[in-house]
Amino acid sequence: MSRISGILFCLAAAAACGRADASPLGDTSAAANPHGVTVRVLDVGQGDATYITNGGSRVIIDGGPDERRFGHLLDSLGIRNDTVDAVILTHAHFDHYSGLRELFRSSRHITVRYFFENGDPSTAASLRELRDSVAARVAAGALIYRDTDDPCGDGRPVCTLTLRGGALLHVLRPYPGRLTVNDRSAAVKLVGADSASFTMWLAGDAEHAAIDWFLWDADYDHVPGMRVHVLKGDHHGSCNGVSGEYLQALRPDTAVLSIGAHNDYGHMHAQAKAVYRAAGVPWYRTDENGTITIYSPGRPGGGYHIAVQRPGVDRDGPSDRPASARGCEDD
C-alpha cells in the first residue's frame, strides 16, 4: 500500500479546518465534530455521484450525468469558492463524468487539488472537455493528476489519502483488462476515523470480470481488506454488478444504490435483488429514497447511521425488471 503523505491534512488553524457543511439534510457539521465523516450518495438520476466530507476535507467520486443537476447539488451543498481535495472519476462513462464539468466552471471558483481517472482513450467530446479543463489546471500548477492505474505514481496498486478528520480513502487500481468500460472502474474504500464504526466500498460500475479480479487477482480482500459496513452497489443495481462471492467478501450491513427512476436498463434487476436478499443485505436506492446520507461520528463505539431524503422501505423501483441471463454475465 502506498500513501500520499499527509496531503489532505489540514495545515491551517483548527478553526479554519473545521468549516461547517451547508447540508440540506442538517447532519453534524465538521465544526461540531472534526472526526465525523459524512457520505452523501447524491440523487443524480441514472448515474453516480458521491460527496464525502471529513474534518473539512472534501472528496467527490463521480458527478452524475447532468451538469445542471450536479450544479444545483453543488449549490445546495454550499460548494462554491471552495477547495475540493480530491475528485475521483471511477471510469469514462457519461453518467459518471458529465456533471464533473460543472466543478471546473470558472464562475464557481472551485479549486480541485487531486484528480484521479483512468485516462482510457475516448472519442466523447464531453469527456475531452473535462479532460481539457483538468489538463489546463495541471499546466498551471493548480492541480495534481493521478492515473488510477498508478494511483500514487509509484507503481503500487493502493493509494491512501488521509483526510483532515482522520478518515482514510484508499484508491484502488482498476481491473487492467479492457473487456468493458465499466470493468475499468476504480474501487474506493473509505475508512472512518474509527474504523470499527464505519467503512464503505464504492466501485463505480465494476462488473463481474472486475469484481473477480478484485477478489482473486488484486487480492484487495487482504489489502486494504474488503469487509465493510456499507456498500455502494455497483452498476446501478445491474445483475452484472453483484455476486454472492462479492457480498461474502464485503459482508455489508446495507447497500445503497444510485438509480434513475426511469431507466432503459431495467435497473434494478430482479436477479441483483435476489443476490442481495440471499446474502441478507437490505438496500436503499436514490430513485425511491432521494439523496442518501451516511454519518459516522468517528469516535470509538460511535457506529454510523443512514438518513434518506425520502423515507420509505420500498425496495422496488418503477424500472425494475429481470435481465436476460446473458445480460447478467456481460451486459
Angstrom distance (rounded) from CA 172 to CA 12: 29
Angstrom distance (rounded) from CA 35 to CA 27: 13
Taking the complex as a whole, the smallest distance from the CB of residue 46 to Zn ion amounts, in Å, to: 7
Q: What is the DSSP letter of 154?
A: S
Q: Compute the C-alpha angle 311/87/330, nearest 5°.
A: 70
Taking the complex as a whole, the smallest distance from the CB of residue 94 to Zn ion amounts, in Å, to: 8
Binding site for Zn ion (CB under 5 A): 95, 205
102 vs 207 by CB, closer to Zn ion: 207
157 vs 233 by CB, closer to Zn ion: 233
Taking the complex as a whole, the smallest distance from the CB of residue 98 to Zn ion amounts, in Å, to: 11
91 vs 164 by CB, closer to Zn ion: 91
Selection from 282, 281, 279, 234 nearest residue 258 by Cα: 234
Taking the complex as a whole, the smallest distance from the CB of residue 253 to Zn ion amounts, in Å, to: 24
Taking the complex as a whole, the smallest distance from the CB of residue 314 to Zn ion amounts, in Å, to: 22
Angstrom distance (rounded) from CA 319 to CA 288: 11
169 vs 259 by CB, closer to Zn ion: 259
46 vs 162 by CB, closer to Zn ion: 46
Question: DSSP readout, 167-226?
Answer: -EEEEEPPP-S-S-SGGGPPEEEEE-SSTTT-EEEE-TT--HHHHHIIIIIS-TIIIII-
Selection from 232, 316, 313 nearest residue 266 by Cα: 316
